[in-house]
């Protein structure tokens, strides 16, 4: 699956003030328009692809392995850990996986060479029982 570049952690959420249920002013965070646009792009490009099991019992047991390759464009910067949160959240919002809590292995590679075609490629799959037992907790 090919997508645009995810927003980095620094541009994923912004600080905001809101009135809570208790009627008091609180400080919090809201997801930025750039992150929301990325979620929409992931959903469009995923075209309904889904690797999560259909039943709730199976979902409790499943673990996912995700490989993200981020190809930066001209003058773009970013670290692998900054792309991770928004990238995985985009997969959850698009329905490709049911929960980021079930991601057992995630590998992110940031490519800084050949900046003519900025994009992100995902490989998402369910892990086998043997892989899950051997993965680092």
Where is pLDDT greater, at 110 or 12?
110
pLDDT at 2 (0 to 100): 47
The answer to whether the beta carbons of residues 120 and 2 sit under 8 Å apart is yes
85 has a pLDDT exceeding 90? no
pLDDT at 6 (0 to 100): 75
Q: How far is CA 61 from CA 8, 93, 111, 135, in A?
A: 30, 20, 33, 14
pLDDT at 17 (0 to 100): 92
Where is pLDDT greater, at 3 or 15?
15
- Note the pTM of the prediction, 2 decimals: 0.80
Q: Mean of the per-residue pLDDT values for the chain? A: 87
pLDDT at 14 (0 to 100): 86
The residue written with tokens 């792009």 in the block is 41
pLDDT in tens, 29-57: 898 888 888 888 888 888 889 999 989 99
Q: How far apart are CA 13 and CA 110, in angstroms?
A: 21
Q: How far is CA 117 from CA 8, 42, 78, 120, in A?
A: 18, 17, 16, 10
Where is pLDDT greater, at 137 or 91?
91
pLDDT at 48 (0 to 100): 87
Closest alpha carbon to 69 in 20, 117, 102: 117
Q: DSSP secondary structure string, 9-60?
A: GGGTEEEEEEE-TTS-EEEEEEE-HHHHHHHHHHHHHHTT---S-SSHHHHH
For domain 2-134, give the CATH number: 3.30.1330.70
Region 92-113: mean pLDDT is 93
């Amino acid at each position: 699956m090919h997508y645009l570049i995810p927003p980095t952690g620094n541009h994923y959420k912004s600080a905001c003030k809101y009135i809570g249920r208790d009627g008091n002013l609180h400080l919090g965070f809201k997801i930025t328009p750039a992150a929301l646009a990325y979620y929409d792009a992931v959903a469009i490009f995923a075209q309904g692809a889904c690797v999560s099991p259909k039943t709730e019992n199976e979902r409790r047991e499943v673990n996912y392995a995700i490989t993200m390759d981020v190809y930066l464009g001209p003058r773009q910067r970013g670290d692998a850990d900054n792309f991770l949160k928004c990238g995985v959240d985009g997969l959850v919002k698009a329905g490709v996986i049911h929960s980021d809590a079930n991601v057992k292995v995630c590998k992110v590679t940031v490519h800084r060479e050949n900046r003519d075609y900025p994009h992100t490629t995902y490989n998402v799959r369910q892990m086998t029982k043997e892989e899950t037992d051997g993965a680092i907790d």
